[in-house]
Structure 1
C-alpha cells in the first residue's frame, strides 16, 4: 500500500509501470492520507491511501480490498475523479505508476471520529490533513495533479 516504488517493479533489465488505485476520503476540509518521507530528497509528503491493482482485478475492487487489508475498514467507492500518471524518484530509485483516483466513504462512521489510524502490517499511520496546506504549498500531496482533480470548493 505505502511503498514507492516496489522492489518487485523491476522486470528483467527494465522497469514496469505499476497500476495503482487511491481513495479520496474527506472529513470536512481534511483528506485522509499517510505521511511519507524521502530522506534522499529531504522531503516529507502525503498520499491518499490505496494500493496496487492485481491482475484481473478492477481498480474499484482493488481499493476495497486494500482498505480491508490495511485498515480493516469497508468503504463504498464512488465517482472516479480521474487517472494520473506518476513518474517519480523515491529514495533515488525511479518509479512509474498509473493512479486511478476515486471518491470514497467509510461504511462505518466511527472511522471519521479517529484522528489517526494504524495501518496494519506497516510502520505507518493514516491521518486527516487539512486541504489548505496542500493548496498553499506548505505540504506536498502526491500524486502530482491530484489537487487539480479535487473540486475547488472542497
Structure 2
C-alpha cells in the first residue's frame, strides 16, 4: 500500500449492527452501477465527533428506520480498505449485534427507511448462506469472514 496515498485518504470510523432472525441478517440493499448488480451492507453509519460507537449505532438505526434497539453487544472491530470510483475508502468498523425493541420488525420481509443521503433505504432479511455461497455480495470487504469467525466462536 502506498503510504503517500494513505496519508491523503481519510480513515472513517463506522459503527454497524447485525440483526439476526434465525439464519438471516438484516442488510440494506444498494446497487453497484459499475458492476451492474446489487450488494448488501448492515445498517449503521459514520460516527460523529464526540460520539461513542454504540451511540452512533442507536442514532443511525433510529434515523434510518425509525426504530429503537436494545441488547447491543460489541462483537469487535474490523477494518475495510477498498477503492471506490478511483478513491481509497478506509474504514475502521465497530461491529455490534443488537435486537429491535419492536418485535414486529422481525415479521417484515423488508423495511423501508431513509438513508444518510436522503434517498429511500430498503433493508431486507438475507440468509448468511447466500453470502457464503457468493449468490449475493456483502460489504464491507472482510465482513463475511468476520461474521463467520463470530459464528465459530458461538455468537450465532
Match of 1:29 among 23, 37, 57: 23
| DSSP-derived class of the 1:23 partner | strand
Determine the structure 1 residue equivalent to 2:105. 111
Contact 2:80 2:92 in 1 (8 A): yes
Gaps spanning 5+ residues in structure 2: where?
Answer: 1-6
User: 2:57 matched to 1:63?
Assistant: yes
Gaps spanning 5+ residues in structure 1: where?
Answer: 1-12
Shift of 1:77: 4.5
Superposition RMSD in Å: 1.8
Contact 2:64 2:121 in 1 (8 A): no
| DSSP-derived class of the 1:139 partner | coil
When the two structures are superposed, what TM-score results if normalisation uses the length of structure 1? 0.83
When the two structures are superposed, what TM-score results if normalisation uses the length of structure 2? 0.82
Figure out how many residues of one structure are paired with residues of the other and give that number.
Answer: 142
Question: How do residues 76-95 of structure 1 correspond to structure 2 at under 5 angstroms?
Answer: 76-95=70-89
Richer in helix (by share): 2
